[in-house]
Structure 1
């Protein structure tokens, strides 16, 4: 392929980010638009179309160099049909986004889950560059993941591989919206941290436990801050989160034998908070021979740009 640019789209519940990216992972042009997901699926599709159209119109001289459009979207993806099968944050079910955009813009289009796209970006241009086997774990509102195995993005038959947030870490746990029980996402996501902390706070107050804060914890951010300030209950929640997250990652190590493990997302934004506890839990439970083959466990390097870059990078790797 002699075309040196792709147009990447990072489709989230809040923002649609679009960029022209070259083969070295450098952003040549970029724009951000509000998703406006509350106005319905058809409206969001039109918003994506408008965002792409605007970027193309602003960069007409670069059109001959564009190889195609790559989209990273939250949710369950069918890469063959270029369809978003389900995306709760968009209110989507079976939206043929890729085919609609391919028809409109007459450019080749590839579609991937956003966490898979982030893993691809870290492998192409980030901290895992040069590594053939990568496990990326994204901890934010939900829990997502991406796997590079043998130098290829692991997608599965339809693109649904690496839905790690929905592997069970407690067979007797609460029911998840996916239909499973005890999913990792119910214990380790930012949403779960805030919910579990508030449930435990209310229960502890009812039991008359000493030293319990009376103000609610509105989110995981406040739970984290309380833990840093020495709140015992908040620290318990964080330790439990590290335990469940570590357990989930150990399962993935035993499945995929990665050489690099990277964490990303709003919950994992510090080398000194949560990550050391997660690493300790992994080391405690992992088969030593597999643990010893891991060359690095740490934070991803591309941050919030990873999904956008990885979406563009879909056209720079073999399908």
Structure 2
């Protein structure tokens, strides 16, 4: 039996089970202060019997086990969470910790649309834009974890939108996240017509991100999830169109519709990501 905790900016989801088809219990906890939130999570976990724990969290995170800050949230715009040690909720149980998007990528490899592949990427488009990359079956790791959603990419000709990322302005997150879409269009994404030009800019920014991934981390498949992508199914077709034009024949793009797909787990990819990490810890 596995337990997983997905820590998000607005809510945290605690899950008990062995996978997406065997969820025994699930609780949702609002993300408030770090002290209150972690205490509530610990209270849920104390009532469960499980072998290992997976912690999938918003970041950035310190994931170097040699660091005294291992398992802690680094500098984050979320007030009161910088420096928070997330490993305390493990309470002595074997655990694995990673970013929420890396967890979702692992879950897609175990149970979703990346089964049988060696290398793939998972992009989530929501409050932010995050990328989880798996290469040769392992989460991409180096000097920290991937922050590919903050790549600077070319905008469409004539686009004067400055972007809304507090760090980089018009990086991918500053151009294609939920807040960026609302800032550009003057209304929330759910209220924007599917053929509105705002989606053209979003699709272009995500396609430029995919262009960079295709030529660097070499994914066999790119899964695009999150509330924005799942709520706007026409977006993937537009991303494929911009990607083919951008690559301009330099990379094989036959069957691009099989390269760019929705996650097989849909909205369950996030919570299942924490179980995937727990499975990793159990091994």
Stretch deviating more after TM superposition (75-84 or 131-140) = 75-84
Kindly indicate whether residue 41 of structure 2 is the aligned counterpart of residue 45 of structure 1.
Answer: no
Query: 3-state DSSP class of the match of 1:165?
Result: helix
Structure 2, unpaired ranges of 5+: none
Alignment of 1:1-319 (within 5 A): 5-22=1-18, 25-37=20-32, 40-54=33-47, 56=48, 63=49, 66-79=50-63, 80=65, 81-89=70-78, 91-98=80-87, 100-102=88-90, 105-158=91-144, 160-161=145-146, 163-170=147-154, 173-174=162-163, 176-178=165-167, 180-198=168-186, 217=187, 219-223=188-192, 226-228=193-195, 235-269=196-230, 272-286=233-247, 288-292=250-254, 295-317=258-280
Against the structure 1 CA distance between its residues 138 and 150, is the aligned structure 2 distance closer, same or farther, given a 3 Å change threshold? same
* Distance in 2 (alpha carbons) for counterparts of 1:168 and 1:271: 24
Does the residue aligned with 1:305 lie in a helix, a strand or coil?
A: helix
Deviation per residue, 1:77-102 (Å, 9 max, x gap): 1123111224444641011111x123
Instruction: Tell me the TM-score normalised to structure 2 length.
Output: 0.86
Structure label with greater radius of gyration = 1
Runs of 4+ in structure 1 over 6 Å off:
none
Q: Give the C-alpha shift of residue 271 in structure 1.
A: 7.4
Whose RCO is larger (CA < 8 A, sep 6+)?
2
Offset at 1:33?
Answer: 2.9
SS of residue matched to 1:131: coil
Q: Deviations over 1:248-305 (max 9, x none)?
A: 2101111111111111011111674111111100111125434348653210011222
> CA-to-partner distance for each residue in 1:87-141, whole Å, 9 max, x for gaps?
444641011111x123xx2201211111111111001110111111111111111
Matched residue of 1:282: which SS?
helix
Higher helix residue share: 1
**Alpha-carbon offset, residue 174 of structure 1:** 5.0
Distance 1:170-1:94 versus aligned 2 partners, 3 A rule: farther
What's the C-alpha RMSD, in Å, of the aligned pairs?
Answer: 2.4
- In structure 2, how many angstroms separate the alpha carbons of the residues matched to 1:36 and 1:153? 26
Provide the aligned length of Structure 1 versus Structure 2.
270
Distance 2:42 2:24 in 1: 17
